[in-house]
Structure 1
Amino acid sequence: MKVHSLFVYPVKSLSGIEVTSFHTDDFGPVGDRRWMIVDDERRFVTQREHPELARVETQLDGDRVVINIPGEGEFGLTASNDELRVLVWRDWVKALAGLREASDALSRFCRKPVSLVFMPDSSFRRVDAGRVDEYRRVGFADGFPFLVTNTASLAELNTRLEVPVEMRRFRPNIVVEGADAWDEDHWQSLSIGNNRLSIVKPCSRCVMTTVDPSTGLKDAAVQPLRTLSRYRRTGEGVIFGQNAIHESPGLIRVGEPVTVNQSE
Structure 2
Amino acid sequence: MHVASLHLYPLKSCAQLDTASLEITPRGPAGDRRWLVVDGDHRFMTARQHARLVGIRAVPAAGGLRLDAGDLPTLHVPVPAHAPRRRVTIWRDSVDVPDAGDAAAHWLTRYLGTTARLVHMDDAARRAVDPAFAAPGDEVAFADAYPLMVISQAALDGLNARLPTPVSMTRFRPNVVIADSAPHAEDTWSRVRIGDIEFDAVKACTRCVFTTVEPATMTRDPDGEPLRTLTGYRRTPAGVTFGMNLIPRGTGTLRMGDPVVALG
> Which 5+ residue runs of structure 1 have no aligned equivalent?
none
**What residue number does 1:92 align with?**
94
Contact preservation (8 Å) 1:163, 1:222: no
| Distance in 2 (alpha carbons) for counterparts of 1:163 and 1:116 | 35
Contact preservation (8 Å) 2:39, 2:45: yes
Deviations 1:101-130 (A, max 9, x none): 122111011111100000110111000111
Identity %: 37
Contact preservation (8 Å) 1:54, 1:215: no
| Distance in 2 (alpha carbons) for counterparts of 1:61 and 1:139 | 19
TM-score, reference length from structure 2:
0.96
Alignment partner of 1:113 is 2:105: no
Alignment of 1:83-232 (within 5 A): 83-221=85-223, 223-232=225-234
- The runs of at least 4 consecutive aligned structure 1 residues that moved more than 4 Å come to none
Using the TM superposition, name which of 69-78 and 49-58 deviates more: 69-78
| Distance in 1 (alpha carbons) for counterparts of 2:74 and 2:192 | 38
Aligned-pair distance for 1:165?
0.4
Deviations 1:196-218 (A, max 9, x none): 01100000001110001111111
| Distance in 1 (alpha carbons) for counterparts of 2:98 and 2:145 | 20
Give aligned pairs, total.
262
> Which 5+ residue runs of structure 2 have no aligned equivalent?
none
Using the TM superposition, name which of 182-191 and 229-238 deviates more: 182-191
Alignment partner of 1:26 is 2:14: no
Cα RMSD over matched residues? Answer: 1.2
Classify the secondary structure of the residue corresponding to 1:220: coil
| Distance in 2 (alpha carbons) for counterparts of 1:16 and 1:186 | 27
TM-score, reference length from structure 1:
0.96
Contact preservation (8 Å) 1:56, 1:67: yes
Deviations 1:28-69 (A, max 9, x none): 100111100000000000000001111111223245321102
| Distance in 1 (alpha carbons) for counterparts of 2:153 and 2:54 | 22
What amino acid is the match of 1:54?
Answer: V
| Distance in 1 (alpha carbons) for counterparts of 2:128 and 2:224 | 35
Deviations 1:49-93 (A, max 9, x none): 001111111223245321102121211122251111100000000
Aligned-pair distance for 1:133?
2.9
Aligned-pair distance for 1:26?
2.3
| Distance in 1 (alpha carbons) for counterparts of 2:29 and 2:62 | 15
| Distance in 2 (alpha carbons) for counterparts of 1:93 and 1:212 | 30
**What residue number does 1:54 align with?**
54
Alignment partner of 1:72 is 2:58: no
| Distance in 2 (alpha carbons) for counterparts of 1:155 and 1:184 | 14
